[in-house]
Chain A
Amino acid sequence: MKLYDYVLSGNCYKIRLFAALLGIPYETVAVDLYPGKEQTRPAFLRLNPAGTLPVLQDGDLTLTDSSAILTYLARRHDPTGQWCPQDPELLAQLVGWLSFADDLTRTSGAARLHAIFKKPIDSVAAQKGAHALLRRLELHLCDQEFDDSSFLLGKAPTIADIACFPYVALAPDGGVELDGYAAVQRWIYAIRKLDGFLPMPGIHPLHEHPDKPLPEGLNARLEA
């Protein structure tokens, strides 16, 4: 199995994270999204006419959307069905969250690309959009906590959590601070605590020695 990957892409990270949690082996092909804009070149467009990452190839199958890839990997590699439940009500909710995840890419993800690479977009509108989504997420997660559930669909994580996680946790990269969203921060922590969790630049692993203080000057972004 081959993942066309860019290390700073939140959508690629969804796949890397999920594969790590499930212990699925794969190779990566690094695509130079920035600064090379390799996704706009003919060779890449033949692979994915949409010109986006991630792309997953498994045998003859090529998948070009992160939610599609997560669904495929869950169905193929998770015999328990935990990560992509079959129950009609849960499955419907899950699909709703996958769509929510795309809204996060368009808002929080876009604000981040503007902040890091100066991608010319209306970043104020993107940040406002991200906050609107974070408020909805916060309310939902508060409700979940009343039911003793740490994750979007219940007590166990699903691919809904994996799809929404990157552009929530990376929001501060784009100037969207998470200070006011306590339940969201607890949810981020719960995901970072999962067995086999894989970090990405801007999303730190939990400290191996939480008892030992960090050197002064290193800040909240590592602790949170």
Chain B
Amino acid sequence: MINEIALNDWYPVAMASELKPGCRLNRVLMEREIQISNDGDKTHAFEGSRVLPLQIRYDHVWTSLGAPARPLFEIPEGEQDGRRLVACGRVHVRCSPLRAVENFLDIAHFPYVHTGILGAEDHPEVERYDVEIDDEKDEVWARQVKFFQPQAAKSAEGGIMADYMYRVPAPTTSILYKTCPARVGEWDIITLFVQPVSETTCDVWPWMALYDDETPFNDLVQFQQTIFMQDRSILENQIPALLPLDPKMETPTRADLTSIAYRRWLKRRRMFYGAQTIAA
């Protein structure tokens, strides 16, 4: 069910670089067909003849089917000088858009799904970390996350204890702040922007803002594609396809702290598109 909450949010629908003058892209957003076009001067979004709101931020085109209740979230660090901005294209996944975000927040799968890169089977422990729902910003935050990683980034040489912060500024966006191997004291930014196609399918647009002047651009993209395609094979097999928001359906063994906060926050915001709210 598309409720007002889902309808009134901003969603990514294209990379800004795709919109060459004269081009027209067909997209599906929450089961509705929309068009994005560029008349040589400006980019526009339509549903039929209806003009949709549009903005270009973080190398992507954002639109909404409703009247956006709040502005698009800010990623101030992402717009700092000197960062490489890396849009990785879109990957289609047969899973709930909310599951794509939740999986991104869960570190426990690293050793098994991203073996030898983001985790090692010999170091599966997740130490305690802080999770909060920031009421003022209306966002989910996880801080002080520490995890052993054999190859934390394309530029990493050897294993490190990586520091992480997770931020969920909108139900279908997840931002990761991560130890930057190339510049001590700064955070690399890795995001998943998720376009809900239906309640059980989504298009995922990974985007990164990194301090890394060495690694060729193609290698950065392919490092991220590697990670996300490892996730995709897991995401497509999750049961049930919808994200369960009923506490009775929660599986306690997989009670990742950030996942729990994320689900609680979705419920509080009444964001139910892609969620299962009654026990089947």
0/1 interface trace, chain B 111-133, chain A, CB 8 Å (1 if under): 01101100001100000000000
- A30→B222 contact, CB < 8 A: yes
Of all chain B residues, the one with the shortest Cβ separation from A218 is: B112
- A218→B233 contact, CB < 8 A: no
B91 at the interface (CB under 8 A from A): yes
What residues on B are CB-neighbors of A128 within 8 Å?
A: none
A2 at the interface (CB under 8 A from B): no
- A218→B234 contact, CB < 8 A: yes
A81 to chain B, nearest CB (A): 32
Q: Interface stretch among B33-41, B66-74, B213-221? A: B213-221
A35 to B220, CA, bound (A): 13
A85 at the interface (CB under 8 A from B): no
A209 to B92, CA, bound (A): 32
A117 to B88, CA, bound (A): 12
A80 at the interface (CB under 8 A from B): no
A49 to B230, CA, bound (A): 31
Interface range on chain A (Cβ under 8 Å from partner):
20 to 34
A140 to B91, CA, bound (A): 34
What residues on B are CB-neighbors of A219 within 8 Å?
A: 234, 237-238
B124 to chain A, nearest CB (A): 8
What residues on B are CB-neighbors of A207 within 8 Å?
A: 112, 121
CB interface residues, B 38-89, toward A, < 8 Å: 87-89
Instruction: From known contacts A173-B233, A218-B113, A219-B238, infer whether A208 and B121 are also in contact, taking CB-CB under 8 Å.
Output: yes
A221 at the interface (CB under 8 A from B): yes
- A222→B113 contact, CB < 8 A: yes
A175 to B234, CA, bound (A): 13
A217 at the interface (CB under 8 A from B): yes
B90 to chain A, nearest CB (A): 8
Among A117, A118, A208, A215, contact of B109 (Cβ-Cβ < 8 Å)? A215
What residues on B are CB-neighbors of A35 within 8 Å?
A: 15, 18, 87-90, 221
- B253→A221 contact, CB < 8 A: no
Instruction: Specify which of B94, B121, B225 lies most central, judged by the most chain A CB atoms within 10 Å of its CB.
Output: B225
A200 to B232, CA, bound (A): 13
A77 at the interface (CB under 8 A from B): no
A159 to B55, CA, bound (A): 51
- B91→A222 contact, CB < 8 A: no
- A218→B221 contact, CB < 8 A: no
CB interface residues, A 178-224, toward B, < 8 Å: 199, 201-202, 204-205, 207-209, 214-222
What residues on A are CB-neighbors of B3 within 8 Å?
A: none
B204 to chain A, nearest CB (A): 10
- A201→B112 contact, CB < 8 A: no
Of all chain B residues, the one with the shortest Cβ separation from A175 is: B94
A6 to B227, CA, bound (A): 14
A29 to B236, CA, bound (A): 30
Binding site for B on A (CB under 8 A): 6-8, 30-32, 34-36, 38, 115-118, 172-173, 175, 199, 201-202, 204-205, 207-209, 214-222
